[in-house]
């Protein structure tokens, strides 16, 4: 018999901080941050990651662990091998929703599956988000969508996402974050009108400003 392969992945680190967006915004978390193309990365085996996380949550109190960064679900085997060593720890996955098939392996280790979308979103990508939410609902896992608005996002962009999310699962928690300009200023009549139309489509929906500053992480 061959040796069991060592599962490893490139991480941008395992920092701690305050979640800046979504349904768990404001929570203190440890972040498993997968490295993007331009980020400095360090290779971790699944066992090494589990040891680091165990030490972190043992030293002080965190609300949860957050899996985030570039294509985190592209490393599903690595994540599953690490997270299964953390019984009793709340784990949130913040993903782009483009790998719904990964949930079949990862769902036993996740408390919350959050899909973050930046509008406008092309139809093929939105279809995979819908599949991810349907899978999360069928597997009995809490699921949410964060609409990370930009200054260029239109009301139609927001409402299209709300409609598609509702069609996937009416149990989804949706958080709309306005674009940076709106978040720095005062919300005008546009946003109350948008919320009126969006709330008519989906019940569990909020509009919130993202947190900012050196203490925050995503």
Is 84 inside any structural domain? yes
Judge contact between 97 and 27, C-beta under 8 A: no
What pLDDT sits at residue 36?
A: 82
Phi, psi of 145 (to 5 degrees): -130, 130
The predicted model gives 205-210 an average pLDDT of 96
Based on the structure, what is the number of domains in the chain?
1
Task: Compute the mean pLDDT over every residue in the chain, rounded to the nearest whole number.
Answer: 94
Question: What tokens does 15 get?
Answer: 């920092």
Is 33 inside any structural domain? yes
Q: How far is CA 40 from the centre of its chain?
A: 21
pLDDT band at 5 (very low <50, low <70, confident <90, very high): low
Is 215 inside any structural domain? no
We report the CATH number of the domain holding residue 104 as: 3.20.20.70
Domain containing residue 136: 8-210
Is 2 inside any structural domain? no
Taking only the tens place, the pLDDT of each residue in 15-69 is 999 999 999 999 999 999 999 877 889 999 999 999 999 999 999 999 999 999 9
What pLDDT sits at residue 169?
A: 98
What pLDDT sits at residue 3?
A: 52
C-alpha 77/C-alpha 168 separation (Å) is: 26
Is 217 inside any structural domain? no
Is 218 inside any structural domain? no
Taking only the tens place, the pLDDT of each residue in 103-158 is 999 999 999 999 999 999 999 999 999 999 999 999 999 999 999 999 999 999 99
Judged against a pLDDT cut of 70, whether residue 4 lies above it is answered with no
């Amino acid at each position: 018999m061959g040796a069991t392969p060592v599962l490893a992945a490139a991480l941008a680190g395992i920092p701690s901080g305050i979640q800046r967006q979504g349904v768990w915004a404001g929570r203190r978390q440890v972040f498993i941050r997968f490295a993007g193309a331009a980020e400095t990365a360090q290779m971790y085996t699944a066992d090494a990651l589990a040891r680091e996380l165990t030490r972190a949550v043992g030293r002080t109190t965190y609300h949860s662990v957050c899996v985030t960064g570039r294509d985190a679900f592209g490393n599903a085997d690595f994540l599953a091998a690490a997270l299964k060593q953390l019984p009793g720890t709340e784990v949130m996955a913040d993903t782009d929703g483009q790998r719904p098939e990964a949930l079949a392996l990862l769902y036993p280790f996740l408390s919350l599956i959050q899909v973050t979308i930046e509008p406008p979103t092309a139809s093929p990508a939105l279809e995979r988000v819908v599949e991810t939410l349907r899978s999360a609902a069928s597997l009995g896992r809490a699921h949410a969508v964060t609409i990370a608005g930009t200054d260029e996002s239109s009301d139609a962009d927001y409402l299209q996402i709300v409609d598609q999310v509702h069609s996937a699962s009416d149990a989804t928690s949706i958080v709309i974050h306005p674009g940076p300009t709106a978040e720095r200023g005062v919300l005008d009549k546009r946003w109350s009108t948008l919320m009126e139309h969006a709330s008519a489509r989906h019940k569990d929906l909020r509009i919130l400003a993202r947190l900012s500053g050196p203490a925050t992480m995503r």
